[in-house]
Chain A
């Protein structure tokens, strides 16, 4: 239990100051590093044609987000389909097919990094360095920008947040709510927060053994060359900077096919610890950012406390399942695992990578204990136990608004959040988000299982159901991990997953922003004794209850048919 405790305490100790720093970055507050960064930022703002202090309405902000995604999508798709003709392709990798390139592009655009390809064989260095790494850096920051804008909206917009209460009246008049400047948010957070962390981690990983080179990998003559094994290609590349942002940016898509199980991507137990720490670092920092960013310390504490409770509970069950349950005595314990890491470090990663919505793996989930796989599915269905960079907190805000509405109905009080009423129009928008998840995931799972010729699962029985369900859960949650035995490099899987990926990303980032702006334009009532207090342990427990009811109960049948049945079968098999 040393490693999980070490991880948690280190995260809390480092996340706290980083969160305060991030709040300053996102507020655009003056800071000592201005002298260093403003000479990079000023020409960027000039090129983008924006003035960083001038804000945008929610429509402008969301429009900027959507249009920049669209342009990135087209350019990256073209790069993948033409990489053989482009420079920096020392290993002579061919062009990607249209459907695989489409899926890969959407997958990285949505900060998911679900991979139906093997990077070392199917992507050129140029594709990796621009399309893959470029999206891995900018998409988490876009999520962060969207949640920062939503928080500004929830507290009445930047005008209200920077003023004292006497001037709040001004926002009640028909003034457009200022949710921030999208271009400045993305630029500042990338340059001042994400990239410096990445460069440090990249250097540490190279120190431990992760390659960082532009040269083609050598072809080795093995010690005992045989007829079947005459030579061995050592695949290299600019791996280390890519792995750094893959871990830090809740991305998860690795350089090599089997991700961080590959020793070149995760060479030592220390690199493994650094990588798992990096998975959680930014999402935890964002939670610590809430209090200084909004100025509501109790609110920040409630979010942190709720997430921490859920995190410890679910991580505990995963660790028990892989490391202490009856299935531990199985000879197959080390199947799909690496000797240098072992079962505990693998289970800890499996739990962290799905709580955080990262999706990288250091074990093959297909071969792990069935209940470990189930906990990963549950983490992804909730998708707000820390969650991805930005989108985790965003999903939490959705649960928060729903909980306020339901708790308000139960106690007979007006559902109010920070003094503004949640009414019919807002709840209708929330309902879209709540319904979209089961419709999309269960719908596609059912279609795929009903037509065996497109299913492509590699395991018989209950586990085969888990494989298909997991793929769509992972796609909708924008996680990216998978039961990789699935034969998913087909047109059906590529196109259907691309649809699910987009449906899991864009509505859940744009709708909460719209709701927050609708709330901001309402008259603010003073918080009094009749107000529902959201900053209490009682409300936090209510919220957890609502999360469980909303996400778990509606997926209970498929969880029972998949991992639970698989577990019962396995325990019976082992008892024989």
Chain B
């Protein structure tokens, strides 16, 4: 189909007041706009965004990757499971921390299955930390939205201090000090909530060489907290 654009007579050019409308040439326009949208507005724009990000903020643009001895061990922004007593534990994950199947539980508040799970998790955390069930903070009981929440609340970290200190043979005050050091407050003083990044805190613990760890017998037993 030849679709030459039919425009109005040239005599009217530059006089939009009484220029009749021109409706033809719609195929050519539509094909052009399709290419322009996908290749230009989509692809080239994405490339530009990547270019700006890589040039200005290379670390975050590449996923805030954490390396240890030249080996990639994770990302600051992705929770990973910790099992031994020597580490702080992140929030439970509906996705078992698998980044290919990210999800929340999507269970309703009135769902009996969720109520049952919350009570079981609460009891397991209370047993693990040796505290009253009522003292377990909410964020350690509930599953996050995406399944890889890298943070716990400062309270969620505090209740784990005694256990971690015991397993590492450290003074609780030293561990508590690290928790305080790694607590991020509300951003700009008003936004969000105070939080502790679990991976960063655990790496700081491992790096703490002042008092070499002497794990007590049986301290390596796996956590009883159900992850799902």
By the criterion CB–CB under 8 Å, are B60 and A241 in contact? Answer: no
Residue of B nearest to A272 (CB): B192
By the criterion CB–CB under 8 Å, are B53 and A212 in contact? Answer: yes
Q: Which residues of B contact A257 (CB under 8 A)?
A: 101-103, 146
Determine which of A195, A210, A263 lies in contact with B78 in the assembled complex, contact meaning CB atoms within 8 Å.
Answer: A263
Binds B, one of A298-306, A327-335, A391-399, A542-550: A327-335
Instruction: Please give the number of chain A residues whose Cβ is less than 8 angstroms from any Cβ of chain B in the complex.
Output: 143
By the criterion CB–CB under 8 Å, are B42 and A130 in contact? Answer: yes
Determine which of B38, B57, B107, B109 lies in contact with A206 in the assembled complex, contact meaning CB atoms within 8 Å.
Answer: B57
Q: Which of B16, B62, B104 has the most CB of A within 10 A?
A: B104
B157 CB to closest chain A CB, in angstroms?
10
By the criterion CB–CB under 8 Å, are A223 and B190 in contact? Answer: no
**A137 and B109 contact, Cβ closer than 8 Å, known pairs A129-B46, A256-B146, A331-B138:** no
Using an 8 Å CB-CB cutoff, how does the interface string of A121-165 with B read, 1 for contact, 0 for none? 100000011111111111000000000000000000011001100
**A67 and B45 contact, Cβ closer than 8 Å, known pairs A264-B77, A331-B141, A335-B143:** no
By the criterion CB–CB under 8 Å, are A2 and B61 in contact? Answer: no
Q: Which residues of B contact A434 (CB under 8 A)?
A: none
**CA distance in complex: A222, B128 (Å):** 22
By the criterion CB–CB under 8 Å, are B193 and A342 in contact? Answer: yes
A288 CB to closest chain B CB, in angstroms?
24
Binds A, one of B82-90, B160-168, B208-216: B82-90
Residue of A nearest to B33 (CB): A68
Is A54 located at the chain interface by the 8 A CB criterion? yes
Residue of B nearest to A88 (CB): B43
B197 CB to closest chain A CB, in angstroms?
9
**A460 and B111 contact, Cβ closer than 8 Å, known pairs A67-B30, A134-B42, A257-B102:** yes
> Size range of the interface on B?
35 or more
By the criterion CB–CB under 8 Å, are A209 and B60 in contact? Answer: yes
Q: Which residues of A contact B135 (CB under 8 A)?
A: none
Residue of B nearest to A482 (CB): B106
B219 CB to closest chain A CB, in angstroms?
14
Is A31 located at the chain interface by the 8 A CB criterion? no
Is B19 located at the chain interface by the 8 A CB criterion? yes
Q: Which residues of B contact A297 (CB under 8 A)?
A: none
Q: Which residues of B contact A256 (CB under 8 A)?
A: 102, 146
Residue of A nearest to B34 (CB): A71
Determine which of A198, A261, A338 lies in contact with B45 in the assembled complex, contact meaning CB atoms within 8 Å.
Answer: A198
**CA distance in complex: A338, B76 (Å):** 15
Using an 8 Å CB-CB cutoff, how does the interface string of B1-19 with A read, 1 for contact, 0 for none? 0011101100001101111
B residues 144-189 with Cβ under 8 Å of A? 144-153, 156, 186-188
Residue of A nearest to B59 (CB): A209
**A258 and B104 contact, Cβ closer than 8 Å, known pairs A67-B26, A130-B43, A240-B49:** yes
B residues 62-86 with Cβ under 8 Å of A? 62-65, 68, 71-78, 80-84
Q: Which residues of A contact B126 (CB under 8 A)?
A: none
By the criterion CB–CB under 8 Å, are A339 and B74 in contact? Answer: no
Q: Which of A199, A203, A327, A345 has the most CB of B within 10 A?
A: A203
**CA distance in complex: A180, B97 (Å):** 52
B161 CB to closest chain A CB, in angstroms?
17
Residues of B within 8 A of A (CB): 3-5, 7-8, 13-14, 16-34, 36-39, 41-43, 45-50, 52-54, 56-57, 60-65, 68, 71-78, 80-84, 87, 91, 96-112, 114-115, 118, 122, 138-139, 141-153, 156, 186-188, 190-193, 195, 199, 202-203, 206
Residues of A within 8 A of B (CB): 2-3, 6, 44, 47-51, 53-57, 59-60, 63-64, 67-68, 70-72, 75-76, 79, 118, 120-121, 128-138, 158-159, 162-163, 167, 170, 175-176, 178, 182-183, 186-187, 190, 195, 198-199, 202-203, 206-215, 217-224, 226, 228-229, 232-236, 238, 240-242, 244-245, 256-259, 261-264, 267-270, 272-273, 327, 330-342, 345, 361-364, 366-370, 458-463, 466, 483-485, 566, 569-570, 573
22 intermolecular pairs with C-beta atoms under 8 Å apart: A49-B5, A54-B21, A56-B21, A129-B46, A206-B56, A207-B57, A213-B50, A213-B62, A215-B62, A218-B65, A223-B199, A226-B83, A234-B75, A238-B46, A262-B146, A268-B192, A334-B142, A337-B142, A340-B151, A362-B145, A364-B145, A463-B111
